[in-house]
Amino acid sequence: MVAVHRNWSPFVVSAPGKVILFGEHAVVYGMAAIAGSLDMRAYALVTPRTDTKVRMVLPDISVDVLFDIHTLPQLSSTDLSHPSEVEALVPSSISIPEGPGRTAVLTFVYLYGCIFAESDRNTGFTLCVRSLLPVGAGLGSSAAFNVALSATLLQLTGQLQEEGVSASDKKLINQWAFHGEQVAHGTPSGIDNSVATYGGFLKYVKGEPSVSLESTHALRVLITNTNVPKSTKALVAGVRALRDRYPAVVDGILDSIHSISTTAASLFQSTSEAEETLEQQMQDIIRINHGLLSTLGVSHASLERVREVTAVRNLASKITGAGGGGCALTLIPNGMASGDVDVVARELEAEGFHCYQTVVGGGGVAIARSVDGKVAVEQWLADTIERHGRPSAGGDGDVYGSAVAGFATLPAAAIAVLKPE
């Protein structure tokens, strides 16, 4: 293992969000689900310090915490029966904030404690994470954070052989990100962190390793956040209660959803079908999948409104995730002009929704030391901050304090240029 050294330059780690395409609710009963990576990512700027402090800045949820590396506990994955119990081992000298940042801080303490050996703790660093994913919308913002965090810590301790590119690097990142998800969610499925690590499209069956579909077919989609709160636990319980009353009927619906997932997997892996034919088949199974989920009682008036607005233009939409509110997914034909998509998005936003035009099926976790392979991250940061007139601020030991302050307030469009090719 290579210890952290003082002589390194700033770098950026990014990881994508995820969207469940097919298989919601059926996956609970051991059937297949298909998920894909979103072209919306979390970006972690990592900068060296000259002191023994570690600072984590999460501007999107108003978190800015400073640790002394000697007060962060040294942990082993065997110290706890479950990672979610980490708070019991946090020393009183570390203040854990209340609110949305609480889980992020506990996750950081756990992963740093496990990944950083005593010999690695010879200098500090600052980690500033900007997420272009809406929090709490079921689009994998937590997993994107955990993958970016895990990759950062593994990179700093020299445990990645090819800066996250190799299969062994990705496997290690995914393992630790899953532990981070355990801190946050208790018993996660593992699909979110797998998508954020590997990217592309994955087929997932509970209790089995995720399978990459190795697809070359990216999808244009419109993600609509209805802003309606949902309870995944209550929705899953509702389907279970319905199944208890009508087992043969509900099992038939779940079997049909499973068949849709397997059909989608075949379509993604197809190399013979024309793109137009694949698009039409995808529209068909999206409509059918939504109808089946509605039959299970997990739709909502807001989700039906998305379906109605988009159906006027012959677009196929469906629930993505547990339903009951949350988000809907609309497939955008490759031939549809962006201006026409904007019109649909404005109509949906007039209903009080938030829309995101994006692509599904892009790359996974990435570590970048330059932008477009040309300009070093440090230089790009200085130029971008100056162009946007961002604030300057520093501090003892934090030689990049002004850069971090600028990065924390950059507009999303400026950060998105860091997206890997």
Q: Catalytic residue numbers? A: 142, 192
Nearest to 307 by CA among 277, 347, 357: 347
Q: Could you give the angle at which helices 247-269 and 275-295 cross, rounded to 10 degrees?
A: 160
CA 60 – CA 133 distance, rounded (Å): 10
Give the other-Cβ count within 10 Å of 352's Cβ: 11
Nearest to 191 by CA among 39, 32, 375, 388: 32
Instruction: Output the six-digit token pair for 138.
Output: 């079921």
Instruction: Output the six-digit token pair for 183.
Output: 């801190």
Residues 6+ apart with CB under 8 A from 413: none
Determine the 3-state secondary structure of 255 from DSSP: helix
Residue 63 gets the label, from left (phi > 0), alpha (psi -120 to 50) or beta, of: beta
Whether 235 and 324 have beta carbons less than 8 Å apart is answered as yes
CA 181 – CA 91 distance, rounded (Å): 22
CA 21 – CA 329 distance, rounded (Å): 8
CA 319 – CA 305 distance, rounded (Å): 11
Nearest to 224 by CA among 338, 103, 305: 305
Extended beta strands in 27-133, E state: 33-48, 53-58, 63-68, 125-131
Q: Are strands 327-331 and 219-225 parallel, antiparallel or unpaired?
A: antiparallel
Whether 231 and 325 have beta carbons less than 8 Å apart is answered as no
CA 311 – CA 359 distance, rounded (Å): 20
Nearest to 198 by CA among 43, 32, 366: 366
Whether 180 and 110 have beta carbons less than 8 Å apart is answered as yes
